[in-house]
Structure 1
């Protein structure tokens, strides 16, 4: 305050009444802080203008540590800029590759969906029918080489997980030699925008197809199953967030979503491929259903064919605007500008 009085002293002639000092002090404080307060006030006002409309409830949260292997259902998860995280398990941070680094998914090796993955005492544990459990340290030795991998036409690094898990995967799949790699936080992510141009330059992923979060409603699955002779499961579609208490395909219209303290931005719908025809219980690739039925009623509008081509749509991709924690049972709100 001494410094402020000294400054005001240059503005006010000596002998002015005390109330002028008070008025001048208020004017000075307004000049100093008014800009910041005004900005904060405008920002708060913008947030207040967003009306919350409840559109559903989180029914299930799933992290898929190894791309194309079984997911891990969790009661709560951190939502990071690059997807869901539960402890050491991060969504699609491990990837099966050929020896030349090209990714391998259940499109090429359907039996990958039979591999169960979980985490215990700093280890990733793999289980599969007629196979001994394999324990893999999550923090790999630095002597393990970093490889350049190829995921949907993009280069991305991964640290090789070693010969033991490579042999385990090769034996189980009864295939050519395969490797497992792990994406580490110091590595450079892939840009979602390089896969689908409608993403923002800030949206990034490790080994997911293109988006940090995939959301589907329970009602959409129920709608599909009314049209199928043989019902399918949500595991055919591998969402991170399953939502209930809404109508079929309402998720397609959600743009700005609030769950817990997490804000998500809807980007594009998920264009479906033959991976949906892999039976998650048997690992057998059907190549027909549910894809053919989806094509009968879930093709995009002709104006969007440059995005989705002839693929049917099921589920919606979301980018992360604000990180935080979400839980099963959390209400899902659509943020609407008032």
Structure 2
């Protein structure tokens, strides 16, 4: 029998999660899940993709208050009743809606920690944000959908393939199940957990946050686990999936050890299988010319990885060919594109998704 193994909520987007014995579904997700978010003053969201240190902030819940504890042991209590009465424009991944702004003291506390002027936002009691595929389904500050399901067996399979020690918390799931076959969730369409019926919307496309240590916030070596996942969980567009995004049909309480019942199935998504043994054939050295600097590289790693190994910083967010922030100019030479979107107009390419075929010359693009 498949059972619920772990439950998590993340009161503030990108901060530490809270393990629970039971969680109640509400409008937008589990109660208190991602109800707070850090933003630019104009309402654009900020996450651990840009500021990994957010992952080190601990969160706890008491009544209607959320407590934040910094690594320095400085703490602040956030009372949701103290947020602005008026709502302000807010944006998450191009999704525009409104939210409430925290008191000045709260904003200053987080601004001091990040050394940057930011605001803390609250979704409010009446959510104005909707999911992209379901205009009648509300969602809080989560990336796209209210719930994320992870399968412990799928994680165990990944760990067997990955040379680096992983922690399932790197994937920031809400519901972690046990006693299912590895990647059985790929073929599920509708499931029931306790009294709640969930529809599985899509596989969850993963980003650089999965490569960050949940305790130290440091990036893993060699871009793991994304590097390993790319070998067997990458689709034709180069998107890397792990876990399932879900919406709930009804409200109810999900508890640890609740059974999972599969109500409806669907065809599993196809993934390109290309494990390291195949990829490492015909490895050849090459050079990467950037301005007046010549880097000794190879035709196996992405340009982004090789630049980073030589302490050359290129802006990025996802490292999966989705966000487009690592765009560079290819002045000469040829590259192998790992995703369809990796080659742009005007000889612009994505450094995270292109591998040199031989000697290349590149130029960083001014944003």
What's the TM-score, normalizing by structure 1?
A: 0.74
CA contact (8 A) 2:148 2:173 kept: yes
Aligned position for 1:228: 162
CA contact (8 A) 2:83 2:103 kept: no
Aligned position for 1:137: 79
Aligned position for 2:4: 58
Aligned position for 1:334: 262
Using the TM superposition, give the Cα deviation of residue 228 of structure 1 relative to its aligned residue in structure 2, in angstroms: 1.7
When Rg is computed on C-alpha atoms for both structures, the one with the higher figure is: 1
Aligned position for 2:15: 69
Write the distance in 2 (CA, Å) between the matches of 1:278 and 1:141. 31
Match of 2:149 among 190, 196, 215: 215
CA displacement, residues 91-118 of structure 1 (integer Å, 9 cap, x when unaligned) = 1111100112110000000011111111
Using the TM superposition, give the Cα deviation of residue 176 of structure 1 relative to its aligned residue in structure 2, in angstroms: 1.6
Aligned position for 1:47: none
CA displacement, residues 230-288 of structure 1 (integer Å, 9 cap, x when unaligned) = 21111110000000011111112111101111000111000111111111111123471
Compared with structure 1, are the counterparts of its residues 278 and 133 closer, same or farther at alpha carbon in structure 2 (3 Å cutoff)?
same
Match of 1:315 among 237, 243, 263: 243
Write the distance in 2 (CA, Å) between the matches of 1:157 and 1:336. 35
1 or 2, which has the higher helix percentage? Answer: 1
Aligned position for 1:265: 199
Work out the number of aligned pairs and report it. Answer: 264
The structure showing larger relative contact order (alpha-carbon pairs under 8 Å, at least 6 residues apart) is 1
Write the distance in 1 (CA, Å) between the matches of 2:110 and 2:134. 36
Runs of 5+ consecutive residues of structure 1 not aligned to the other structure = 1-53, 194-198, 303-308
Aligned position for 1:294: 229
Worse overlay, 113-122 or 67-76:
113-122
Q: How does 1:14-29 map to 2 (within 5 A)?
A: none
Write the distance in 2 (CA, Å) between the matches of 1:225 and 1:186. 40
Aligned to 1:294, the other structure's residue is in SS state helix
Using the TM superposition, give the Cα deviation of residue 142 of structure 1 relative to its aligned residue in structure 2, in angstroms: 4.6
Runs of 4+ in 1 over 6 A off after TM superposition: none
Write the distance in 2 (CA, Å) between the matches of 1:267 and 1:146. 29
Write the distance in 2 (CA, Å) between the matches of 1:81 and 1:163. 28
Write the distance in 2 (CA, Å) between the matches of 1:281 and 1:76. 24
Aligned position for 1:113: 55
State the superposition RMSD in angstroms: 1.7
Compared with structure 1, are the counterparts of its residues 243 and 127 closer, same or farther at alpha carbon in structure 2 (3 Å cutoff)?
same
CA contact (8 A) 1:214 1:239 kept: yes
Q: Does 1:254 align with 2:188?
A: yes
CA contact (8 A) 1:273 1:311 kept: no
Aligned position for 1:172: 113
CA displacement, residues 181-228 of structure 1 (integer Å, 9 cap, x when unaligned) = 111123412x222xxxxx333222121111111000111111111122
Runs of 5+ consecutive residues of structure 2 not aligned to the other structure = 266-367
Compared with structure 1, are the counterparts of its residues 293 and 284 closer, same or farther at alpha carbon in structure 2 (3 Å cutoff)?
same
Using the TM superposition, give the Cα deviation of residue 154 of structure 1 relative to its aligned residue in structure 2, in angstroms: 1.9
Write the distance in 1 (CA, Å) between the matches of 2:9 and 2:161. 29
Write the distance in 1 (CA, Å) between the matches of 2:83 and 2:159. 46
CA contact (8 A) 1:81 1:320 kept: no
Using the TM superposition, give the Cα deviation of residue 165 of structure 1 relative to its aligned residue in structure 2, in angstroms: 1.8
